[in-house]
Amino acid sequence: MLDEGTREQIAQQLHRAGEDRRPVPLLTARYPEMTVEDSYAVQRIWARRQEEAGRRRAGHKIGLTSKAMQEATGIDEPDYGVIFDDQVRDSGHVFTWERYTHPRIEMELAFVLKDDLVGPGVSIFDVLRATEYVVPALEVLDSRIAMEGRTIVDTIADNAALGAMVLGGNPVAPDAVDLRWVAGTLSRNQEIIETGVAAGVLNHPAHGVHWLADRLAGHGDRLEAGEIILAGSFTRPLWVYRGDTVYADYRELGTITCRFE
């Protein structure tokens, strides 16, 4: 375990890395005694500093919920991070390439809550009752810590690698479609690179949300009405480069596009 002063120092390093786009060396290489709970403590310190700087929380993201993502990263348990309002974009958004480090895209569903979810003991049925609508989303992964050799300890401290998100397509009530069988294709420059089905996220994307509610309860936190919850990717991360256009097709749930310039 790390002392509070070291946690504060790491949070400050990550804050600077987010501003100057220079990832810091692996935390696990420098602090081999660092634990998952240390990482969440660093994330909370970092998030608090963002709010003190005027950013507003818009929700949470869940990561590493599918076998595709776990195998792609070598990490075998979910994690979570905080979404801020300035990270939420609409379909068609043009991202400035220089603002991101190692950008990658994931295909997900987002749950927008109408009621609070307070753990422990939240079930999938509680999640469905508390959800106003579900909508297609893309997550832009970013990195403030060196990529090679990352562990879940590094990823959690890095706010679960969240850079931004894009919402689009057709919002639906949680009981209007079988969410397990929402499927999609993810294209870069008109070439399909990834495909997936939402059941790949813990067998049902709502499972990720109730996992998150219970995990937050252990940190004295909750999911609140109005929050956007990114439920986790059901495709592997798609690497993007300057000039790339990304197109996600969710069939009856519509499409999302974005571009990097």
What pLDDT band is residue 18 in, cutting at 50, 70 and 90? confident
168-202 CB burial, b ≥16 within 10 A, e <16: bbebbebeebebbebbbbbbbeeeebbebebbbbb
Residue 142 pLDDT greater than 80, yes or no: yes
Task: Name the residue with tokens 């097709």.
Answer: 249
Residue 11 pLDDT greater than 80, yes or no: yes
108-147 CB burial, b ≥16 within 10 A, e <16: bbbbbbeeebbbeebebebbbebbeebbbbbbbbbbbbbe
What pLDDT band is residue 21 in, cutting at 50, 70 and 90? confident
pLDDT tens track for 91-104: 999 999 989 988 99
What is the distance between the alpha carbons of residues 146 and 136, in angstroms, rounded to a whole number?
29
The residues that bridge with 217 in the sheet, in sequence order, are none
pLDDT score recorded for residue 197: 96
What is the distance between the alpha carbons of residues 64 and 67, in angstroms, rounded to a whole number?
8
Question: What's the whole-number mean pLDDT along residues 37-44?
Answer: 96
pLDDT score recorded for residue 75: 66
What is the distance between the alpha carbons of residues 142 and 178, in angstroms, rounded to a whole number?
31
pLDDT score recorded for residue 73: 63
Comparison of pLDDT for 153 and 70, the residue scoring more: 153
What is the distance between the alpha carbons of residues 104 and 143, in angstroms, rounded to a whole number?
10
Please, what are the domains in the chain?
4-260 (3.90.850.10)
Q: What's the mean per-residue pLDDT of the chain?
A: 94
Please provide the DSSP assignment of 55-73 as one string.
Answer: --EEEEEEES-BHHHHHHH
pLDDT score recorded for residue 239: 95
Task: Name the residue with tokens 């999302």.
Answer: 256
Contact 84, 50 (CB under 8 A): yes
